[in-house]
């Protein structure tokens, strides 16, 4: 049997869950083991009431007249369970359809680890191996300083070797003299530790009230930050990968719910919204793995292109939730974009020094900067909305358009440029803060604070209105020019502008204009021969 075959193993006569399932759906319950005669128990005590759950008993109802593999009769009836197992193993090997092997079951804490780090278990063992829970006044258990953090594994060449947890080699810490209520005795600490989920998954609650020595968090602080019944608070947005969701997220929700059920918390959920970001694949389109050799070292990217380029590229790759392949050339493109942002503010002089770009001015006449300002306010609106919807890639694309507009403009108001830097700051904090700091020296009117401390920009609806429309100018049906004209321009004025175009007049030289066709809002077609 295997997963996906549709075949299942069910023993309703010997397993509680299988028994409950059989009873619920009216399935027959066949008992395959009965109590030992000397036990004083009887199968009649279970039939129709419960399964007989035991690995020590007499096998019943376990015989066939002929097997598929050998054609022989096979019966396990009357044997003890361990004898029946030995007989089946021998028959399987003889038939050539199986081989007996030994498997080991770890009898352990469900979440223990043989590591140095993380929280030790508050358990000590007596000389007889009996576990004892440490009293509250002996908590927390602090980890000792150790010279070697690595676990010692089993040596396949040495039958006498045994695995060792790092803590087990610290005898002074493991072996302790404690008084647990009946005088001082020798005890031995548990050398396993809990996984990082045990402590790290509720840390956010301790942040709420870190100086409290009576409780992990006071009721007042907890309700202020995390909300209460009918008024949920807590973490507004939890962002994590799909693989991460079954780890920290799951355990955090579990611990929070446990504490809620115990009455220590006011809400049963710590997080209000979950967003799973997509996996970033290697350049070969495969999941990054050392074995595949397709792992991208972020340190290498930062050294060559800077942290801002790496940060910005990861957001620009595509929608946050999508799985995306890495492309180093994409980082190069982002690096060039950031270079254009820099060159709006600075230019290199003959001595190779960066100086303020002459196009960057203070209190520029509105007519000269209106086109860039309109593009800026469109960008403010788009970036604001995209951040709220976590559409970072399209927000960056819009900021690229705005940068292009500033690059091609003859004049850019420094206040407009600084607002643009404020928009870009969450995406590229290092570069934008550096530019802003330098501009503060040249333009004292700029806010004398860091960009990250400034209020988020707001767009002006009036600057979003389009008062002009693009107009195509054709000569005999072929495109010859494009004009930006007022929305309410008359047909007569539009015709005059088209005929006055220098690009159009090249194609009117030596010919006679026969007709001018005006399609408002779209095109002007000049018919000439």
Three-state helix/strand/coil letters over 48-74: CCCCCCCCCCEECCCEECCCCCCCCCE
244 found inside a domain = yes
- Same domain for 81 and 63: yes
114 found inside a domain = no
Q: Strand 523-528 relative to strand 513-519: parallel, antiparallel, unpaired?
A: antiparallel
496 found inside a domain = yes
Q: Which of 244, 277, 310 is the last residue of a domain?
A: 277
366 found inside a domain = yes
Q: Which residue in the block uniquely carries the two structure tokens 């050398």?
A: 191
Which one, of 291, 274, 275, 292, lies nearest residue 283 by Cα? 292
pLDDT at 326 over 80: yes
- Same domain for 228 and 179: no
196: its two tokens: 């990082």
- Same domain for 411 and 376: yes
Confidence (pLDDT) at 4: 62
103 found inside a domain = no
37-51, 225-239, 318-332: segment of lowest average pLDDT = 225-239
Q: Which of 258, 277, 296 is the last residue of a domain?
A: 277
- Same domain for 287 and 220: no
- Same domain for 209 and 183: no
Long-range contacts of 16-25, Cβ-Cβ distance < 8 Å, separation of 24 or more:
16/50, 16/51, 16/53, 18/51, 19/50, 19/51
CB distance 324 to 318 below 8 Å? yes
- Same domain for 290 and 326: yes
Q: Compute CA 306 distance to the chain's CA centroid, rounded to the nearest angstrom.
A: 23
- Same domain for 364 and 326: no
Number of folded domains in the chain? 6
d(CA 189, CA 509): 100
- Same domain for 187 and 230: no
- Same domain for 362 and 451: yes
6 found inside a domain = no
470: its two tokens: 């693009």
Say how many CA atoms lie within 13 Å of 110 toward its Cβ: 2
Its pTM surpasses 0.75: no
Continuous segment of H or E residues that includes residue 132? strand 131-133
**For the chain, first and last CA: distance in Å?**
86
Confidence (pLDDT) at 433: 97
pLDDT tier, 1 (very low <50, low <70, confident <90, very high otherwise): very low
- Same domain for 503 and 432: no
User: How does DSSP classify residue 189?
Assistant: E
159 found inside a domain = yes
- Same domain for 48 and 37: yes
| Chain segment 229-287, per-residue pLDDT in tens | 777 778 888 888 776 666 778 888 888 999 999 999 999 889 888 888 888 999 988 88
Confidence (pLDDT) at 470: 84
Q: Which of 250, 277, 304 is the last residue of a domain?
A: 277
User: How does DSSP classify residue 456?
Assistant: P
221 found inside a domain = yes
pLDDT at 456 over 70: yes
Beta strands in 218-288 (DSSP E): 227-228, 231-232, 238-241, 274-277, 280-281
pLDDT at 107 over 60: no
Provide the residue range defining the domain that includes 513. Answer: 467-528
- Same domain for 443 and 384: yes
| Chain segment 395-450, per-residue pLDDT in tens | 999 999 999 999 999 999 999 999 999 999 999 999 999 999 999 999 988 988 99
């Amino acid at each position: 049997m295997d997963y996906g075959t549709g075949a299942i193993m069910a023993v309703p006569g010997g397993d509680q869950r299988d028994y409950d399932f059989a009873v619920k759906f009216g399935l027959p319950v066949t008992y395959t083991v009965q109590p030992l005669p000397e036990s004083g128990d009887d199968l009649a005590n279970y039939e129709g009431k419960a399964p007989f759950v035991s690995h020590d008993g007499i096998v019943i109802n376990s015989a066939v007249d002929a097997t598929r593999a050998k054609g022989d009769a096979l019966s396990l009836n009357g044997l003890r369970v361990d004898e029946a197992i030995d007989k089946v193993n021998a028959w399987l090997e003889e038939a050539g359809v199986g081989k007996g092997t030994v498997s080991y079951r770890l009898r352990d804490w469900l979440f223990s680890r043989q590591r140095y780090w993380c929280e030790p278990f508050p358990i000590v063992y007596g000389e007889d191996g009996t576990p004892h829970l440490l009293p509250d006044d002996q908590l927390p258990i602090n980890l000792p300083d150790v010279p070697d953090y690595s676990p010692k594994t089993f040596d396949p060449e040495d039958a006498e070797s045994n695995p060792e947890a790092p803590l087990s080699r610290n005898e002074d810490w493991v072996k302790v003299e404690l008084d647990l209520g009946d005088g001082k005795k020798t005890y031995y600490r548990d050398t396993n530790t809990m996984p990082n989920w045990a402590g790290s998954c509720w840390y956010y609650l301790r942040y709420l009230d870190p100086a409290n020595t009576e409780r992990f968090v006071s009721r007042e602080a907890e309700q202020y930050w995390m909300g209460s019944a009918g008024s949920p608070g807590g973490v507004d947005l939890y962002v994590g990968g799909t693989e991460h969701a079954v780890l920290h997220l799951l355990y955090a929700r579990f611990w929070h719910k446990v504490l809620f059920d115990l009455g220590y918390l006011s809400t049963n959920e710590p997080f209000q919204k979950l967003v799973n970001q997509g996996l970033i694949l290697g350049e070969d389109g495969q999941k990054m793995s050392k074995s595949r050799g397709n792992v991208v070292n972020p340190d290498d990217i930062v050294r060559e292109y800077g942290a801002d380029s790496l940060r910005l590229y990861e957001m620009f790759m595509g929608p946050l939730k999508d799985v995306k392949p890495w492309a180093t050339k994409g980082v190069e493109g982002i690096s060039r974009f950031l270079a254009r942002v820099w060159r709006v503010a600075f230019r290199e002089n003959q001595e190779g020094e960066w100086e303020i770009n002459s196009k960057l001015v203070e209190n520029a006449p509105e007519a000269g900067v209106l086109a860039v300002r309109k593009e800026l306010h469109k960008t403010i609106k788009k970036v604001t909305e995209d951040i709220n919807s976590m559409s970072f890639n399209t927000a960056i694309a819009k900021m690229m358009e705005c940068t292009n507009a500033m690059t091609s403009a003859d004049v850019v108001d420094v206040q407009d440029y600084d607002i643009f830097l404020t928009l870009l700051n969450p995406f590229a904090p290092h570069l934008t803060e550096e530019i802003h700091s330098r501009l503060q020296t040249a333009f004292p009117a700029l806010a004398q604070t860091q960009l990250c401390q400034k209020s988020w920009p707001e767009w002006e609806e009036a600057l979003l209105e389009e008062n002009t429309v693009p107009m195509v100018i054709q000569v005999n049906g072929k495109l010859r020019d494009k004009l930006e004209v007022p929305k309410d321009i008359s047909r007569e004025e539009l015709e005059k502008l088209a005929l006055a175009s220098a690009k159009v007049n090249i194609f009117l030289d030596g010919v006679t204009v026969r007709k001018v066709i005006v399609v408002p809002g779209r095109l002007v077609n000049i018919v000439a021969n």
